[in-house]
Structure 1
Amino acid sequence: MKVYLDNSATSWPKPEGVIKSITNLVQNYGGNPGRSGHEFSLRVARDVFDTRELVAGFIGAPSSDNIIFTSNGTHALNIAIKGILKKNDHVIVSSVEHNAVMRPLRAIEKERNLEITIVQCDSFGQINPLDIEKSFKKNTKAVITVHGSNVTGTLLPIHEIGAICKKHGVLYMVDASQSVGLIPIHMQNDCIDVLAFTGHKKLYAPPGIGCLCIGKDVVIDEHMQGGTGSNSENDFMPDFYPDKLEAGTKNTYGVVGMKASLEFILANGIENMRKEMMEKTGKMISGLKAIPGVTVYGSMNLKEKLPTISFNIAGKIPGDVAHILDKDYGIMVRAGLHCSPNAHRTIGTFPTGTVRFGLGHFNTEEEIRYALEVVAKIVASSE
């Protein structure tokens, strides 16, 4: 039996509509959007436009022009972080941020004399929004937080944080790579100025496509230069979105795949999908906690959690457990620090990390039972 429980790294399998949409583009009309006036180019351009419209409506962006297609969430965060923060700025982050946030910040910290404040989360990975507010300074430019931790699955209170940032006139940037597609987000209602996410996790789109969604009146400096199909008579980049931040040919296969994935989620209903996913997550957590010697990390409140479960087995190295799960039982997971060392420091699992089960829409009840039986066997074999 093969069981894929690494959906927090990338979702698999993909919906049939995603596969068909990409295959259709490859086989039937693979033109370059915005570059030519022929049938194929115009047809792909329509796909790109329709996908922007879908994304904007899905996450409550002020305009589809403010939806920038990127290669992934990391790419989107790099564009935003390096294009917004200036010399002597102060930025606030949580203690559970992914390296996609921390590494770009550290990369510009010295050259821009950037001041970085890390607000401590509790041992469940949760943060008190008032602790963020207490960290504000005169030169605070932005607050950056993850929406849902890729280690514990704990959801941060982005609505409350956004309201605080708005009150103080501070830009709020959210990394929603683990949550978009499963948790409703509305940029304007949640007071989010910049939203970054990838398509290949909870959206069930293919790898290689992400989005940078920009709020009203937010200015982000261009990060690269090249052809856009617009203002071609000018040596300089256009100064309007999305062209300003989309130099070069787009990943059109990823774009049509994202369109199909959004249509899949809208057809099923995001609330229905979340309800189903969290029922499975609750069974997995309860089953793991019932096994002596297993420690489960993060919030146990399913209302503030993603289907991402980190655990350890007493006396076992996480990497060894993952190897046994894969080689002996066909269960595919991720172990280690999950590119989020600060999150593991926060929950007390640094430097070895944890074993992570990442559930997806297509995981079955049978697979959950099997995984729990196998964990119990591994525990019993080490006694």
Structure 2
Amino acid sequence: MLENKPIIYLDNAATSWPKPPAVWEAMERSMRESAANPGRGSHAMAVKASRVLFECRKKLARLFKIGNPNDIAYTLNATHGLNLAIQGLLKPGDHVIATTLEHNSVRRPLEAMKRTLGIEVTYVPTDAEGILDLKTLESAITPITKLIAITHSSNLLGSIMPIGEIGEIARRNNVKLLVDAAQSAGVLPIDVVGMGIDLLAFPGHKGLLGPQGTGGLYIHPNLELEPLMHGGTGSKSEDPEQPHVRPDRYEAGTQNTVGIAGLAEGVNFVLKETPEAIHAKEQQLTFELMEGLQSIPDISLLGPKIGVERTAIVSFLLEGVDPSEMAFLLDQQFGIAVRAGFHCTPLGHETAGSYETGAVRASPGYFTEKSEIVSMVDAVKEIRRTLKGER
């Protein structure tokens, strides 16, 4: 419910909603009982706040198969983590490989460093459905290639990258692998060791079912990054330089203890349900939504065809109708929340052939009901009939 009005929420690719009750209950409990500065004092409340951070770190490490929880640095979101990884690793003269499906959270830092430091960037194309040719990817590697930065799943098309195979390519060529897990963390199984991931950036507010303002970056134990921020850490305070101990080196300033308390419960929910089960349920809802929309005249779907594995993202166009108008009508007349526009991935829209218009994106979540999928399809049918002047 939103302001006493029913809402069908299909914008989980942006932020998941609703959250498990344990998430907001933990946040309230933290605010009441342990909202002191973690790592900044020895009194009982500060120690309790520190414990909140460490317990969440342990759960994240378990989820992503990370050996040492201290190799996870908390961030505000995936964008923050990606910037820490990209700006902390690259030096003048380095070469980076990305794809034409990257979110602006990857593209813009790369373009900024291209302009200011002279790094080289190659965007390897995928096909219109978001499928990447691995031979093309490997052929783009040069003697100065330092990093492959790649999305695990496109936030426009839902296509899934074969990260394990890309990790093998990276290892074989002595190149680091940065994975943007904005659409996959909590939804797809991730094993940083088994998949050869050196850097994993993830948000807390999407598939991990936590609150906004939370996220993290896994940093391989043998990899050192320059900190994105310098400041107080509560450790080595007498040293004018940022400490080298993890995770303090990458966590200057007071952490979002209340948010992380909620994130811990979101991760706990994912661990209990398992990413495999969550993905299976979301994919079934996604295929049902695709089948329903595909039955409507003048509708075109973006991304992999029905039956091809994908995350719970369905982007579509209604011929002759601006996507923003479709999203507005879905919201105002039917109480259905979707997102229209370019989804911060103009390269993705160029790849999909929707750059001139953008698209409507509907993204079911674990708590979406099948009846809501039916309502979404019926609403699009009704909007089409009205706009086309049909009875």
Alignment of 1:140-179 (within 5 A): 140-179=145-184
- Cα deviation 1:282-340 (Å, max 9, x = unaligned): 11111111111110110125553000110010110100100111111111110000000
Is 1:337 aligned to residue 327 of structure 2? no
Question: In the aligned structure 2, how far is the partner of 1:255 from the partner of 1:311?
Answer: 35
CA RMSD in angstroms comes to 1.0
1:26 alignment partner in structure 2: 31
- Cα deviation 1:99-120 (Å, max 9, x = unaligned): 0000011111122111100100
Is 1:119 aligned to residue 124 of structure 2? yes
In the alignment, which of 36, 41, 53 is matched to residue 36 of structure 1?
41
Q: Which amino acid aligns with 1:28?
A: E
> Any conservation in 2 of the 1:337–1:351 contact (CA below 8 Å)?
no
Q: Which amino acid aligns with 1:229?
A: G
Question: In the aligned structure 1, how far is the partner of 2:135 from the partner of 2:305?
Answer: 22
> Any conservation in 1 of the 2:287–2:306 contact (CA below 8 Å)?
no
Structure 1 gap segments, 5+ residues each = none
What fraction of aligned residue pairs are identical, expressed as a percent? 38
In the alignment, which of 126, 137, 149 is matched to residue 142 of structure 2?
137
Displacement, 1:240?
2.3
With over 3 angstroms needed to count, the CA separation of the structure-2 counterparts of 1:302 and 1:68, relative to structure 1, is farther
Counterpart of 2:157 in 1: which secondary structure?
Answer: coil
Question: In the aligned structure 1, how far is the partner of 2:7 from the partner of 2:161?
Answer: 33
> Any conservation in 1 of the 2:75–2:217 contact (CA below 8 Å)?
yes
2:208 alignment partner in structure 1: 203
Question: In the aligned structure 1, how far is the partner of 2:380 from the partner of 2:302?
Answer: 16
> Any conservation in 2 of the 1:67–1:212 contact (CA below 8 Å)?
yes
Structure 2 gap segments, 5+ residues each = 1-5
Question: In the aligned structure 2, how far is the partner of 1:48 from the partner of 1:269?
Answer: 22
Displacement, 1:163?
0.6
Q: Which amino acid aligns with 1:358?
A: S
In the alignment, which of 202, 210, 223 is matched to residue 228 of structure 2?
223
Displacement, 1:130?
1.4
2:115 alignment partner in structure 1: 110
> Any conservation in 1 of the 2:291–2:306 contact (CA below 8 Å)?
no
Is 1:17 aligned to residue 14 of structure 2? no
Question: In the aligned structure 1, how far is the partner of 2:375 from the partner of 2:203?
Answer: 30
Question: In the aligned structure 2, how far is the partner of 1:255 from the partner of 1:138?
Answer: 41
2:217 alignment partner in structure 1: 212
Displacement over 3 Å in runs of 4+: none
Displacement, 1:377?
1.0
Question: In the aligned structure 2, how far is the partner of 1:156 from the partner of 1:358?
Answer: 18
2:356 alignment partner in structure 1: 351
Displacement, 1:61?
2.0
Displacement, 1:352?
1.7
Question: In the aligned structure 1, how far is the partner of 2:270 from the partner of 2:124?
Answer: 34
Question: In the aligned structure 2, how far is the partner of 1:285 from the partner of 1:335?
Answer: 17
1:308 alignment partner in structure 2: 313
Alignment of 1:81-96 (within 5 A): 81-96=86-101
In the alignment, which of 75, 79, 84 is matched to residue 74 of structure 1?
79
Displacement, 1:183?
0.3
Q: What is the TM-score when the length of structure 2 is the normalising length? A: 0.96
Counterpart of 2:13 in 1: which secondary structure?
Answer: coil
